[in-house]
């Protein structure tokens, strides 16, 4: 699933993989303890950082597929490498990337908008799923 996402597999392919692999596949982490949602957030940053024009799979449909099979846990799981949830990862990456001196203002604004849109989507999903504990909102 992680490799499919990194290689821009379609939502249909991801959905089929998740249907076959179920909860176990969705909650599986890589060697850094990052789940599929961490990787999707990294792809948002990477694709916009590289400015390659490709959009990412991190959208409502993708998020619904993942949470239907992996529950709220995939929103709150922390990475072994960074100690961050997917939401924390995407927000802090935004702060780091938009301060690059070589990135023009238009590109910085486009990146900020993408990050805000994706962060809002993760926050809304957390509210919808009634995420509890230190990751709760509201």
Alpha-carbon distances, residue 99 vs 30, 68, 107, 112, 119 (angstroms): 29, 36, 11, 11, 19
Q: Digits of tens for pLDDT over the chain (138 positions)?
A: 888 888 878 888 989 999 999 999 999 998 888 999 988 888 777 766 565 555 566 788 888 898 999 888 899 999 888 899 999 888 887 566 656 666 778 877 877 888 888 889 999 999 998 888 777 665
CB burial readout 31-59, b (16+ within 10 A) else e:
eeebbbbbbbbbbbbbbbeeeeeeebbbe
pLDDT tens for each residue of 53-73: 555 667 888 888 989 998 888
DSSP state of 31: T
State how far the Cα of 28 lies from the Cα of 82, in Å rounded to an integer: 17
């Amino acid at each position: 699933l992680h490799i499919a996402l990194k290689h821009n597999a379609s939502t249909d392919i991801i959905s089929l993989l998740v249907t076959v692999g179920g909860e176990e596949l969705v909650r599986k982490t890589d060697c850094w303890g990052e789940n599929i949602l961490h990787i999707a957030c990294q792809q948002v940053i990477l694709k916009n950082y590289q400015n390659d024009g490709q959009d990412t799979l991190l959208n409502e449909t993708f998020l619904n597929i993942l949470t239907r099979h992996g529950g709220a846990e995939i929103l709150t799981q922390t990475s072994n490498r960074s100690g961050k949830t997917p939401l924390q990862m995407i927000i802090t990456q935004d702060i780091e990337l938009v301060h690059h001196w070589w990135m023009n203002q238009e590109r910085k604004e486009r990146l900020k908008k993408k990050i805000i849109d994706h962060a809002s989507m993760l926050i809304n999903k957390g509210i919808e799923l009634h995420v509890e504990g230190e990751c709760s909102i509201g």
